[in-house]
């Protein structure tokens, strides 16, 4: 009955549903929760997400959702030096882009409603297994809210079901790889001082080798969090909540938090990093977004890559339908297209992640950038994809920093 079954209606799944509609594929989108639902996240939407939203003609509407428009990024060093890079505006008018922070409860619901208008959807439907015939995935089995079992058949199943993907587990592709997974906590606050149109990433002593983020989430709220590698946290005696308290109460931040109030207990979730290239397809299926481990190891962003994977998965699903070939050989093109676009950037971010572990290098680069507009413009260009991000790791970048 369906061309494609999409398991999970986060950004990967809803993007796939919207592209499927464009290309005339009949699909069903399944999610175990009911929308609107929360997703633990920093809620920041940057370059790639904005690009896909524009391609889907949704960007104008995004600007009307509750949240904040972002025009600059503030970086802070262990020695508490700070500098801003401007995504647009006077200081750097060649980079015409902006970002957003929109709580996922609102953003994901917006995308779900768009998908719901053009495709079949089922909420409160928890997928429990995949159906196989002759080593080929041919559908899924799941449970409704009332506990009734139901099956859906399609020649392609897309696993868009996040970091704990049931589709990946059932197909033997799930692995909790401590070295290539981060863990992060988020807490919504109100009353944090000094947040306007900037997102802030602070590589402060309390958190290194991770970072502390402060994002304006709209309506006077802030999205605060810290992220660290799972392997580091295994050795660390402090909990993530204790580390977060240390930062917010530190000499440097305590004034900004003096009238702040937590709106929830900090909540945590895993981030499967794209610092390794995981197996993400096979006979009759593809894994997308967090299920495929596509989170940027340096910035912790995963929404953009999840959406990009949704686009390529549907391109390949259409080709399979036309050729009638749903074998892993035909579906391999998904992996090729996806990694041709995001692979280089993920490799660079993996290197940057190791750079960010060095207190000395962080102090050096951020100190230099805080005093030099040209260095700020180079970093701004890289963040807005005007200058290839690889240069950030190449010797040219350091030569420019030293001599500009």
Ligand X SMILES: Cc1cc2nc3c(=O)[nH]c(=O)nc-3n(C[C@H](O)[C@H](O)[C@H](O)COP(=O)(O)OP(=O)(O)OC[C@H]3O[C@@H](n4cnc5c(N)ncnc54)[C@H](O)[C@@H]3O)c2cc1C
In the complex with ligand X, the residue whose CB is nearer, 217 or 382, is 217
As a whole number of angstroms, the distance between CA 108 and CA 12 comes to 10
Q: How far is the CB of 41 from ligand X (least distance, A)?
A: 4
Q: How far is the CB of 173 from ligand X (least distance, A)?
A: 14
As a whole number of angstroms, the distance between CA 372 and CA 81 comes to 13
Within 44-83, the residues that bind ligand X by CB under 6 A are: 44
The sign of the torsion formed by the CA atoms of 20, 22, 23, 27 equals: positive
**Tokens (6 digits) for 136:** 């080929």
Q: Is 7 in the site for ligand X (CB under 6 A)?
A: yes
Taking each helix axis as running N to C, give the angle between helix 47-55 and helix 303-323, from 0 to 180 degrees, rounded to the nearest 10.
40
Q: Per CB under 6 A, which region of 59-67, 151-159, 284-292, 346-354 contacts ligand X?
A: 284-292
Q: Is 284 in the site for ligand X (CB under 6 A)?
A: no
Q: How far is the CB of 348 from ligand X (least distance, A)?
A: 17
Strands (E) across 167-220 are located at 181-190, 198-202, 211-218
Residue with tokens 């701004």: 380
| Helix, strand, or coil (residue 100) | strand
Q: How far is the CB of 367 from ligand X (least distance, A)?
A: 26
In the complex with ligand X, the residue whose CB is nearer, 292 or 387, is 292
Q: Per CB under 6 A, which region of 34-42, 352-360, 365-373, 375-383 contacts ligand X?
A: 34-42
Helical segments of 76-229, H only: 104-118, 166-170
374 C-beta neighbours (distance < 10 Å), count? 11
Q: Is 260 in the site for ligand X (CB under 6 A)?
A: no
129: exposed, middle or buried (Cβ count in 10 Å: 0-12, 13-18, 19+) = middle
Q: Is 26 in the site for ligand X (CB under 6 A)?
A: no
Within 183-242, the residues that bind ligand X by CB under 6 A are: 184, 186, 225
Q: Per CB under 6 A, which region of 32-40, 92-100, 237-245, 388-396 contacts ligand X?
A: 32-40
The binding site for ligand X (CB under 6 A) comprises: 7-13, 30-33, 39-44, 126-127, 160-162, 166, 184, 186, 225, 269, 271, 289-291, 295, 300-304, 306
């Amino acid at each position: 009955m369906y061309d494609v079954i999409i398991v999970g209606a986060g950004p990967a799944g809803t993007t796939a549903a919207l592209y499927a509609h464009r290309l005339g594929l009949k699909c069903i989108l399944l999610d175990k929760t009911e929308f609107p639902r929360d997703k633990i996240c920093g809620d920041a939407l940057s370059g790639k997400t904005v690009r896909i939203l524009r391609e889907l003609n949704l960007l104008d509407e995004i600007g009307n959702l509750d949240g904040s428009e972002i025009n600059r990024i503030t970086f802070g060093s262990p020695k508490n030096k700070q500098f801003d890079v401007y995504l647009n505006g006077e200081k750097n008018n060649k980079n015409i882009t902006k970002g957003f922070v929109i709580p996922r409860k609102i953003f994901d619901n917006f995308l779900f409603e768009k998908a719901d208008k053009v495709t079949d959807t089922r909420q409160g439907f928890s997928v429990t297994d995949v159906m196989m015939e002759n080593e080929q995935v041919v559908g899924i089995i799941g449970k409704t809210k009332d506990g009734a079992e139901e099956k859906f058949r399609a020649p392609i199943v897309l696993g868009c079901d996040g970091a704990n993907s049931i589709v990946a587990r059932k197909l033997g592709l799930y692995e909790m790889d401590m070295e290539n997974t981060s863990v992060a906590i988020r807490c919504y606050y109100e009353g944090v001082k000094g947040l306007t149109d900037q997102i802030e990433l602070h590589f402060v002593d309390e958190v290194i080798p991770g970072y502390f983020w402060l994002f304006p989430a709209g309506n006077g709220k802030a999205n605060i969090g810290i992220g660290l590698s799972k392997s580091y946290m295994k050795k660390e005696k402090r909990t993530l909540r204790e580390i977060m308290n240390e930062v917010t109460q530190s000499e440097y931040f305590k004034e900004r938090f003096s009238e702040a109030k937590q709106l929830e207990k900090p909540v945590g979730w895993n981030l499967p990093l794209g610092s390794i290239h995981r197996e993400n397809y096979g006979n009759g299926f593809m894994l997308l977004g967090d299920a495929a481990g596509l989170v940027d190891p340096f910035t912790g962003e995963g929404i953009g890559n999840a959406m990009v994977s949704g686009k390529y998965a549907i391109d390949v699903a259409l080709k399979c339908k036309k050729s009638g070939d749903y074998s892993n050989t035909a579906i391999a093109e998904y992996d090729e297209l996806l990694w041709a676009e995001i692979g280089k950037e993920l490799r660079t971010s993996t290197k940057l992640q190791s750079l960010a572990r060095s207190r000395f290098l962080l102090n050096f680069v951020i100190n230099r950038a805080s005093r030099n507009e040209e260095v700020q413009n180079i970093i701004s260009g890289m963040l807005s994809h005007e200058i290839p991000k690889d240069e950030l790791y190449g010797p040219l970048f350091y030569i420019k920093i030293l001599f500009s």
